Amino acid sequence: MAAFARDPNESVPELVVRPACFYPVLQRRDYITLRGISFVNAGPDWAYPRAEQVGVVGTNWSRGWTVEDCEIAGSCCAGLTLGICANDFDAFWRDPKQKFYLWAKRMSERDWKDVGYHVVRRCRITDCGQAGICGAYGGAFSTIEDCDISYCYWKKPYFGQEMGCIKLHAAIDVTIARCRLHHSGTFGIWLDWMAQGTRITGNRLWANGAFDIYLEVNHGPILIEGNDMLSNMACWSATQGAAFVGNRIRGGYRKGGDEARRTPVFKPHSVVPDSLDKYSCEHGAFVFVNNILGGNPRFKDEVQGQQQRSRPARRPTPAEVGQQVIVDTTDQNVVEYEASTDKEKTKCLQH
C-alpha cells in the first residue's frame, strides 16, 4: 500500500523494501544487546499472532535480549517484536477447525520455556503502522520500562489484530513500568490471553483512540498500580484476577463483554499449562482500591446489563458528545469544556 502526502508526479517518493533493520535469520540468537542505535524505516509484514512476527527490530524466538536507549521508527507494521517465530505447524493453523488455545500446548511442548526474559528500556518507538511493541509468547518474563511509545496505528492503514502501543499475548511475569504511551489509534496497552503474574506500574497513558488499557480474557493475577490513565476511555477489563490500585483515572471504565471464552491457565511463574480450555473468565476476582477518579468515569457492566456510575445521574460528559476537556475549574461541581466544532465554551454542570 502506498500513501503519499503529495502528488508523486510532482515530488520524489521514497519506497521502503527491506522487511527489517535488525532481525536474526536464525532462531535462538540469545543474549544480544542493542544500545543507543536508531533503527528507522522498514516494511515488515503484519505481525499476526499465529505467524512469524517481524518488526523493524525483532528477536526471532530468542532469549535474554537487552534493547536500551534506542530509537525505532517508521515501520509499516510493528516496531519491536518479541513474538513467535516461523514454525512447522503453520498448516495446522490454516485449518479453521483448530482452536487457538492448542497453540499454547504446542509451544509448551517445544522450547518456549527457554525464550523470553528480554529487557526493553529507555527506548523511543514511534510512527508504526500496527504496534510499537508486540509479541505472542516470545515476550514472557520480560521487562519494558521507561519507554516513550507513540503514534502507533495512528493512521489506521490496515485493520487486524495486534494494534496499539504495546500488544502482548501470554504476558507471563511481564512488567511494564514508567512508560509514556500516547497517541495510539487503539489501545495503549493490550494484554490478550494468558497474562499471568503481570504488573503494570507507574505508566502515563493519554490521547489513545480506544482504551488506555485493555485486558482480554486473562485469568491473572494482574496488578495495575500507580498509573495515570488520561484518555477519554481508561480501561476495558474483560478478564478476572485483576487489581487496580492507586491509579489516577480520568476516563471511563468498561467491565465485561467477553468472559465466556475459555483460555489457558499456567502453573505459577512457568509456561507449563495447568489447563487449556477448562476455565472461563466469568468468576470475578476483581479488586478496585484507592484509585482517584476524575472526569466522572462511567462504569459499565455488560455482564449484568446495567450501568454503574461513580456519581448520581448527571448530564452527558464531553466524551459522550464528542467534546474535549480543556479546563477543570476549582469548583468541583463545574467543569468547563470547549466544543470540538464551533469552539464555543460551554459548561456542564455535574450533579
Same domain, 262 and 293: yes
Same domain, 96 and 208: yes
In a domain, 44, yes or no: yes
Report phi then psi at 70, rounded to 5: -110, 160
Same domain, 260 and 328: no
Cis peptide before 221 (omega within 30 of 0): yes
In a domain, 55, yes or no: yes
pLDDT of residue 242: 94
Same domain, 161 and 41: yes
Q: How far apart are CA 313 and CA 107, in angstroms?
A: 50
Query: pLDDT tens digit string along 142-200?
Result: 999 999 999 999 888 777 888 999 999 999 999 999 999 999 999 999 999 899 999 99
Same domain, 166 and 290: yes
User: Does the predicted TM-score (pTM) go above 0.85?
Assistant: no
Contact between 277 and 99 under an 8 Å Cβ cutoff? The reply is yes
Name, in order, each residue with C-beta under 8 angstroms of 292's C-beta and a sequence gap of 6 or more: 247, 248, 249
Same domain, 348 and 226: no
What's the one-letter identity of residue 130? Q
Same domain, 190 and 263: yes
Residue 346, C-alpha cell as written in the block: 460551554
Identify the CATH number of the domain in which residue 146 sits: 2.160.20.10
Structural domain of 186: 33-310
Name, in order, each residue with C-beta under 8 angstroms of 170's C-beta and a sequence gap of 6 or more: 104, 136, 137, 139, 140, 193, 194, 195, 271
Same domain, 303 and 334: no
In a domain, 40, yes or no: yes
In a domain, 2, yes or no: no
In a domain, 10, yes or no: no
Q: Pick from 148, 209, 133, 142: which is nearest to 175 by CA?
A: 142
- Please count the structural domains in the chain: 2
Number of CB atoms found within 10 A of residue 308's CB: 11
Same domain, 53 and 139: yes
pLDDT of residue 89: 57
In a domain, 181, yes or no: yes
Q: Pick from 64, 63, 43: which is nearest to 54 by CA?
A: 43
Contact between 104 and 264 under an 8 Å Cβ cutoff? The reply is yes
Same domain, 57 and 125: yes
Q: How far apart are CA 150 and CA 128, in angstroms?
A: 8
Query: pLDDT tens digit string along 276-298?
Result: 877 888 767 889 999 998 865 45
Query: pLDDT tens digit string along 214-250?
Result: 999 999 899 999 999 999 999 999 898 999 999 999 9
In a domain, 344, yes or no: yes
Same domain, 228 and 351: no
Same domain, 95 and 211: yes
Terminal alpha carbon distance of the chain:
50
In a domain, 18, yes or no: no
